[in-house]
Structures are given as structure tokens and as C-alpha cells.
Amino acid sequence: MGALLAVAKRIFATKKLDVCILGLDNSGKTTILEAMCGTLQLKNTVPTIGMNVKQLKSNGVTMKAFDLGGQQRFRSEWLRYAAECDCILYVVDAADERRLPESRYEINRLLEDAGFAQKPILIVANKCDLPHMEPERIIQGLNLDYITDNRWAVVPISAMQRTRIPEVIKWLVGYAHN
């Protein structure tokens, strides 16, 4: 009877995962969140003031996603919220190479904080429906090759086209189940 109860608990148990969505302003964080939740409506979004919080469920994982504003004035708050999350979704506008150095600065600032030690990071290269940088260029531009304490991956997507959004969710679910 105890073994049956243990199996039932595993089957019906829901894992919880807090995800922090970070990135520069206009990288598509809110659009990605809406696409992940299945609530994306093709309209112009307004810049996030503060944060958006949404919850979604997939494959036995309940994810609470915190989409933090990417404007310069909100970036000082990233550390406070992201340190409490289980993993980071860091969004890069793959169609805007001129902002790659600024994005590298911000991700490195996060990684220097002790609260981020060994926290997994999924780099989401958004806007791949436009002329864009290849993942190798983003890896090089963000100096990801030098990140050894954190598990990381890069997934090129188009949030507006909903391209590869399931891969983002799959990565998050996979992390929660490990």
C-alpha cells in the first residue's frame, strides 16, 4: 500500500519553479511570457513598468514567471528578484547587435552576484523572424563560453511567431524535473 501511495504522489505531485525573465528593454520579455502562457495577442506592447507575473503549468510543473522591466532604471531591482528565483530566462534581441555589449554587461553583473552561483540560465535569442545574429555570435558576444558555474543554453526563437516557444518551456520543465 505504501509503494502505491508513493507512486501516486509522484504522478500527481506538482513541482514548482520560479522563473525570472530578464533582458534589456525592447527585447521581447513580455511577448515571450504571453506566448508561453498562450495569451499572446498580436498587438504593440507597452514597456513594462516594474514587473508582470504570470503562472503556467506544463508536464507536472507549475511555473511562476516574473517579467521584470528592462529599462535602465529598473535593472538595479533584477538582483533582488532574480536571487529568489530558481532559474533565469535572459532575453536578447537577436536582431539588434548594437545592444549586445550592453546586454553582456548586464548578464555579467548578475553572474558576479553570489545569489546567482550555479543558477541555470536560458538565453532566449528573440526576434529570429527578422534578420538576426546566429546563436554562436550571441554566445561570443555575451562571453558565455566563460560561464562555468551556471548551466546555460541558447534557444533562438520568435515570440511573435510563437516559434520554438515549446522548446523554452521544455527546457524549464526539464530543469524542474532534475
**72 carries an active-site annotation:** no
Phi/psi at 28 (5° precision): 105, 20
**Catalytic residue (one of 41, 55, 71, 140):** 71
If DSSP codes are grouped into helix, strand and coil, which group holds residue 107?
helix
DSSP letter string, 145-163: GG--SS-EEEEE-BTTTTB
Phi/psi at 71 (5° precision): -65, 155
The three grid cell numbers given for residue 115, joined into one nine-digit string: 545569489
Active site residues: 71
